[in-house]
Structure 1
Amino acid sequence: MTDLLEIRNLKIGATSYPPGEPPREVTLVHGVSLTLAKGRVMGLIGESGAGKSTIGLAAMAYGRGGAQITGGEVLLNGTDILQSGPAGLRALRGKRVTYVAQSAAAAFNPSRRLMKQVIETTLAAGVPSAEAEARAVALFAKLGLPNPETIGRRYPHQVSGGQLQRVMTAMALCPGPELVVFDEPTTALDVTTQIDVLAAIKEAIRDTGVAALYISHDLAVVAQVADEIMVLRNGRMVECGPTSQIIHAPQQDYTRDLVSVRQKDHPAKPPGTTALLSIRGVSARYPGVPVDVLKGITLDLAPGQTLAVVGESGSGKSTLARAITGLLPPSQGEILFDGRALTPKLAGRNQDDLRELQMIYQMADTAMNPRQTVGTIIGRPLQFYFGLRGAQKRKRILELLEEIELGAGFADRYPAELSGGQKQRVCIARALAAKPRLILCDEVTSALDPLVADGILKLLLDLQREEGVAYLFITHDLATVRAIADRIAVMYRGKVVRSGPKAEVLAPPFDDYTDLLLSSAPEMRQGWLEEVIAHRKMAAGGN
């Protein structure tokens, strides 16, 4: 089989500008090589900073964020595209090699209809307008989009996130490329939508015969679409081989760690006899919205336990957290904390209520002031709730940094100097500074790489054992649920459709939605996605 893409000894560098120091050159990719045949898919997997996207973009002879290709060759059908020059690259990008980004919403112009954007590069390649539109409609149908003949007339905001991701895939396939680079195309999607998009991508790749690089940090997702997998770390190849080998017989410790993370199961603690948090018949709606977003929610959480709230986007998970914190006062029902009714509005709660109930957000980047040091960020609740100042406050800040396994040296750093996992640990320390009894964790690991997320989950479990804190853990990732939860509540369209101890909720018989949710969590084996597709077709009465 002839190789379509061959990357030889690729080296990529950039200039770093450390605060208060002279600029220095850093190496992002250290001599990576790979080959990819027509019709085949190679998965590139690894943590943030591993070089996945940098290598994927190099397949288009492109370096973003100041990155420069400093050595090696990138051969497409035997021709080194690094030597193509500006005119050659214009003829290559968007036509022979195309790109599907992680965030479809950011990739589209909100003021232009979808069809015009999908066929733009196809028209630039000299294809007549009628033929380009016919190609687009055929791809819309192949990718399972509703009303393929007319969906192109809509604007980006008039379709869902999963639909927009499939439209972007159609845009990449429309020019008839030889190679498509998929850069984390399902990371921002909830679990049920993710499977729909994965299935559409896999079928489109198979039917068009295009070659693809599929970039992700989730090995279970990559296993569904890739023929081969390259594992990367710190810009170097750790391991490369057929998907079955990487999953079932990994050769390197780092790869074995990636595989084992998806298989961890936290033994649930015995049920508590009293409730720390009691939610009784709570309904809530947003101002100006005529219908309830939460509909009669009733749940209990015992001290020192973890309740995982799971469901797809729009099910009401984060809205429930807003109601508990008082940011969205319930229209009906009540919320009890340690037996006392919480005032519905945040502004009416006393200092103890505020202190004992803390929240950690999904995006640590936006949850911290970039102009404040880590010490200032962690120290604010110490001063607000306990009046600590000076040396006493500094001593407690350093103790909290030790608890989250960062150390005293981080106190004077700024958020921009931290990794994603380190930022989330600082947010955990800030919550712990208030000595809370309950922490609401809203998708706190969904933006993190598997091994970093695993470290955060271990930290939370250790802190729970030491401090006795309870967690209400909002997530759409079933692997995370197995790793941390004692109890589970499944939400769908503002209602709790199933709840109870973890072992009971994860065991059949299931209601239809819980069955769909559990069956949509990618498994680490090839052939699983095809089974899901076939099962769904049968359930829908298809052939």
Structure 2
Amino acid sequence: MAPLVKVEGLRVTARDERWRDNVIVQDVSFEVQPGEVVALIGESGSGKTTIALSLMGYARSGARIAGGSILFDGRNVLGMTQRELSSLRGSKIAYVPQSAAASFNPARPLLKQVIESAQLHRVMSQADAEAKAVSLFHELVLPDPQRVGERFPHQVSGGQLQRLLAAMALVTDPKLVIFDEPTTALDVTTQIEVLRVFKKAIRERGTTAVYVSHDLAVVAQLANRIIVLRDGAIREVDTTARILTEPKNEYTKSLLAAAEPLVRTATIDALQATSAPPVIEVKSVLAGYGVVNREGIPAMPVLRDVSLTIKSGTTLGVIGESGCGKSTLARVIAGLLPAARGEIMLNGVKLPLSAAERTRDQLRRVQIVFQTADTALNPARPIRRILGRPLEFYHGLSGDKQRRRVAELLDMVRLPAKMADRYPNELSGGQKQRVNLARALAAEPALMLCDEVTSALDTVVVAAILDLLAELQRELGVAYLFISHDLSTIKAVCDEVMILYAGQMMEHGSRSALRQRPLHPYSNLLISSVPELRQGWLDGINETVLKEASAGVARPARGEACSFFERCSVRIPGRCDVEPTPLRQLSKGARIRCQRTEKELIELGAPSGCQY
């Protein structure tokens, strides 16, 4: 059988600021057979997306396809005219990008956007295209498939928007679909549902696909073969089973190792046993957005009765789906969003709730590291100035003293001193995040609020950042509040874990306590939704997990009732949705917010062997 795609000697170059051509894809050759799913795996800069886009005869701004050949269905893509390429894209080859939110026009109904390519290429009438789209909505398990197309992008969830993007790609019955990191930005519970419907659609349609990702566990569920890339060149090609069990290339082995993060926490028994007050203590915080009423409740409450403590040299992980209040919690502790109710204590001393009312020393001791270094670092300032600003503000350092300290900070985050004269756009994603960490460390804080600091990074870079954080904690004794939606990362760096859902704490305990038996139904859902690094995991997921994962987005409950009620498989109608939910102390040492007793939850099937 002739391959649908045949790439030989592909070479792509990109022009830098000095107008020099740099090779970013070099001598890449591979084939994709009809009905096959081939994954392109590698870290940022490996050439994954560049190669995938080349299959459509497209190169991003500043880049060009400089050599090689690409045959698609027997036709030479690189020899096509612009008109022929326009006819090919969206019709015969469809592309599903990473960010669904950025792909839709917020001012147009979803159905009109989904059928746009079918109308543009005139492959069917509008009525037929609308009927086909609704059929795809059913196939992709979208809620209310007959009417979801009438909604606008902001009226559906992220997972639903990603499935609508897949419908847009499939509406013309393309011969090849390119999936470019389509689940990377999704929470694990949303990802599991999207992956399931993607796999079902691919399998039932016999779709030929190229799947771009840096997540081997996700790729293992979908791909027949894996192509491992690094620095624009192929390092290894083999079946998915062989790559996962018998990798030959050292880089492939490093990717597999990075997919299973090692525990990096420091020895903290002595620190936990001390009688010294916690670095930070949050007591019964209620916070949100909008006007606060007479009862002290914001118009849009986000956090409700949240309490926590973090001791020196330890890490508390906060995990949950998007919208659960993780980042709001960090903003409240930092004083960027004053709490409507509750107290925040720093080393036993009450902190003003607003950053504007805190002393310079109080501001210094609590630092926040934001998720996206690209937006957190001023692109118009060199790294020396970015790091120098907190040194001047908090410590009054200038001149030679400041320059020496900048060099020390760069060394602390394992960056060479010459980086001081560079600008953010001259650094890689991992390097920018290290500068982000160095800026927080410049203040010499007691607590660092790490808000999704690894979520935008590849697995190999994530491993390096996690190693760095653990090393800094051992050397400096700094405490971390580590926010993430990635359970493997939380497992690697955190001593204690708090699980949030719709602004409520659902379960809170040591990492080992949650690993023994995650009793809360939501804790179990989160842990059960993390893809395992083996083939067949997606097909063997428990039906209860699938039902809870697809039940919808988190919605705050009325009063003090349970927010997880609508999705919970063990709910008690008339109690869970009406009565205040009690906090229970479990025999393993963790706390849980649930109407069910520990004995009831165990009898109802909380899995004792679930690995956290």
Q: TM-score, normalised by structure 1?
A: 0.96
Does the CA-based 8 Å contact 1:125-1:175 persist in structure 2?
no
Q: Does 1:290 align with 2:299?
A: yes
User: Deviation per CA, 1:215-260, whole angstroms, max 9, x where unpaired?
Assistant: 0111111111111111101100011111111111111111111101
Match runs of 1:350-389 below 5 Å: 350-389=359-398
Higher RCO (CA-CA < 8 Å; seq separation 6+): 1
| Separation of aligned partners in 2, 1:184 and 1:515 | 26
Aligned to 1:89, which of 85, 92, 109?
A: 85
Aligned to 2:31, which of 29, 35, 49?
A: 35
How much has 1:521 moved relative to structure 2? 1.1
User: Deviation per CA, 1:158-201, whole angstroms, max 9, x where unpaired?
Assistant: 11111111100000000000000111111111121111111111
The aligned counterpart of 1:323 is: 332
How many residues in Structure 1 have an aligned counterpart in Structure 2?
Answer: 537
The aligned counterpart of 1:15 is: 15
Report the CA distance shift for 1:266/1:536 in structure 2 as closer, same or farther (over 3 A): closer
The aligned counterpart of 2:63 is: 67
Matched AA of 1:491: L
Does the CA-based 8 Å contact 2:6-2:32 persist in structure 1?
yes
How much has 1:49 moved relative to structure 2? 0.8
Partner-residue secondary structure (3-state), 2:101: helix
Report the CA distance shift for 1:537/1:435 in structure 2 as closer, same or farther (over 3 A): closer
Match runs of 1:31-430 below 5 Å: 31-123=27-119, 124-266=121-263, 268=265, 269-271=267-269, 272-273=272-273, 274-288=277-291, 290-430=299-439
Matched AA of 1:256: K
Matched AA of 2:4: L
How much has 1:115 moved relative to structure 2? 0.8
| Separation of aligned partners in 2, 1:510 and 1:213 | 39
How much has 1:509 moved relative to structure 2? 4.3
Matched AA of 2:197: A
Matched AA of 2:489: T
The gaps in structure 2 that reach 5 residues or longer are 292-297, 552-568, 570-612
How much has 1:510 moved relative to structure 2? 2.0
| Separation of aligned partners in 1, 2:109 and 2:499 | 36
How much has 1:264 moved relative to structure 2? 2.5
Partner-residue secondary structure (3-state), 1:333: strand
Matched AA of 1:408: A
| Separation of aligned partners in 2, 1:494 and 1:368 | 29
Partner-residue secondary structure (3-state), 2:516: coil
Partner-residue secondary structure (3-state), 1:286: strand
| Separation of aligned partners in 1, 2:490 and 2:350 | 29
Report the CA distance shift for 1:391/1:537 in structure 2 as closer, same or farther (over 3 A): closer
Does the CA-based 8 Å contact 1:95-1:125 persist in structure 2?
no
Matched AA of 2:10: L
The aligned counterpart of 1:472 is: 481
| Separation of aligned partners in 1, 2:221 and 2:480 | 32
The aligned counterpart of 2:590 is: none
The gaps in structure 1 that reach 5 residues or longer are none
User: Deviation per CA, 1:397-433, whole angstroms, max 9, x where unpaired?
Assistant: 1111111111211111111111111111111111111
Does the CA-based 8 Å contact 1:277-1:338 persist in structure 2?
yes
Does the CA-based 8 Å contact 1:114-1:155 persist in structure 2?
yes
Partner-residue secondary structure (3-state), 1:347: helix
| Separation of aligned partners in 2, 1:338 and 1:122 | 62
| Separation of aligned partners in 1, 2:236 and 2:7 | 16
Aligned to 1:523, which of 502, 516, 532?
A: 532
Does the CA-based 8 Å contact 2:290-2:300 persist in structure 1?
no
Identity value in percent: 49
Does the CA-based 8 Å contact 1:199-1:533 persist in structure 2?
no
The aligned counterpart of 2:554 is: none
Partner-residue secondary structure (3-state), 2:299: coil
How much has 1:126 moved relative to structure 2? 2.8
The aligned counterpart of 1:443 is: 452
| Separation of aligned partners in 1, 2:482 and 2:145 | 38
Please tell me the root mean square deviation across aligned C-alpha atoms, in Å. Answer: 1.5
Higher mean alpha-carbon deviation, 167-176 vs 368-377, is at 368-377
How much has 1:262 moved relative to structure 2? 2.0
Matched AA of 2:9: N
| Separation of aligned partners in 1, 2:91 and 2:335 | 51
